[in-house]
């Protein structure tokens, strides 16, 4: 008998905080703050459409497996990346057997806050040479802010597209040496977790991490609504 489809309500704005808090509880060692690598990984899951439920289940299963090993390691799990393989397994298992509900969720900010946020982004991009076209796109979004406010998930997807364009623009301005140093930084941070990730996961994470770090170094704003909340 086919398993019944499980409906999962997905509040877009709980994704990061739910993962961080759930990992902290599973880790059981008090305060835990996600590293830049963790943020990039969770953002890659969010952008890939991996349901939050799959991430939370994957975290649980990764820690369960760790605790049942015959030879338990005394090392504390210090990164969400430790759970990446289990998360992917959960996402694969749930694929085609889950429907993500689009029930209305009360926005975590007011329309006026959204408008001010977009205005700040436009101002920051207008002040930078070469980003006028992106600023124009944000102006168009700002002009329909009230309409977009009724579907923030779709707005987040639009902003993700613009941020990808911004990343492509700034990447060509990065010197070979700067990119080399960032890749070395990434390789050092990622080395303990490579064996837990597929080639596709690694490629997605590497791109997300490098884009985040390049934008930070260039002093460019993040466009995601997660930085408004």
In a shared domain, residues 15 and 95? yes
Q: What percent of the chain has pLDDT over 70?
A: 84
Q: Has residue 8 got a pLDDT over 50?
A: no
Domain end (from 101, 122, 139): 101
Can you give the pLDDT at residue 229? 65
For residue 37, give its domain range. 6-101
In a shared domain, residues 59 and 164? no
pTM confidence score? 0.71
Which residue has tokens 């596709």?
A: 200
The count of domains in the chain is 2
Quickly list DSSP for 37-61.
HHHHHHHHHHHTT--HHHHHHHHHH
In a shared domain, residues 220 and 121? yes
Greater confidence, 72 or 192? 192
Residue 106 domain-assigned?
Answer: no
Domain end (from 101, 135, 165): 101
Residue 146 domain-assigned?
Answer: yes
**Among 110, 94, 51, 89, CA closest to 197:** 89
Alpha helices (H) along 96-151: 111-126, 132-143, 145-149
Q: Report in angstroms the alpha-carbon separations of 138 from 130, 146, 149, 164, 218.
A: 15, 14, 14, 14, 19
**Among 212, 198, 202, CA closest to 92:** 198
- Whole-angstrom distance, CA of residue 185 vs CA of residue 189: 6
In a shared domain, residues 206 and 120? yes
Backbone angles phi, psi at 207, to 5 degrees: -65, -45
Q: What is the pLDDT of residues 159-187, one digit of tens each?
A: 989 998 998 899 888 899 998 999 999 89
In a shared domain, residues 117 and 211? yes
Greater confidence, 152 or 123? 123
Q: Who contacts 159 (Cβ-Cβ below 8 Å, separation ≥6)?
A: 141, 223, 224, 225
- Whole-angstrom distance, CA of residue 26 vs CA of residue 28: 5
Give 105's DSSP letter.
-
Helix or strand run (H / E) with residue 101: strand 98-101
**Are 174 and 214 spatial neighbours (Cβ–Cβ below 8 Å)?**
yes
- Whole-angstrom distance, CA of residue 58 vs CA of residue 113: 35
């Amino acid at each position: 008998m086919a398993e019944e489809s499980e409906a999962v309500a997905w509040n877009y704005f709980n994704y990061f905080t739910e993962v961080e808090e759930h990992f902290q509880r599973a880790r059981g060692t008090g305060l835990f703050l996600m590293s830049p690598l963790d943020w990039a990984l969770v953002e890659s899951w969010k952008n890939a459409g991996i349901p939050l439920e799959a991430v939370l289940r994957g975290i649980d299963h990764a820690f369960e497996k760790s605790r049942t090993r015959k030879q338990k390691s005394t090392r504390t799990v210090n990164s969400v990346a430790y759970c990446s393989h289990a998360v992917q397994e959960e996402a694969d298992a749930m694929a085609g057997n889950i429907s993500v509900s689009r029930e209305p969720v009360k926005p975590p900010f007011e329309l006026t806050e959204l408008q001010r946020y977009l205005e700040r982004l436009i101002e920051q991009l207008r002040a930078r040479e070469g980003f006028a076209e992106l600023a124009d796109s944000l102006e168009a979004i700002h002009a329909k802010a009230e309409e977009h406010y009724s579907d923030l998930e779709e707005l987040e997807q639009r902003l993700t597209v613009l941020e990808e364009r911004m990343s492509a623009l700034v990447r060509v301005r990065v010197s070979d040496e700067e990119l080399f140093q960032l890749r070395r930084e990434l390789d050092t941070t990622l080395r303990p977790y490579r064996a837990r990730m597929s080639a596709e996961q690694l490629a997605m994470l590497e791109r997300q991490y490098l884009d985040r770090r390049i934008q930070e170094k260039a002093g460019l704003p993040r466009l995601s609504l997660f930085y408004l909340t």
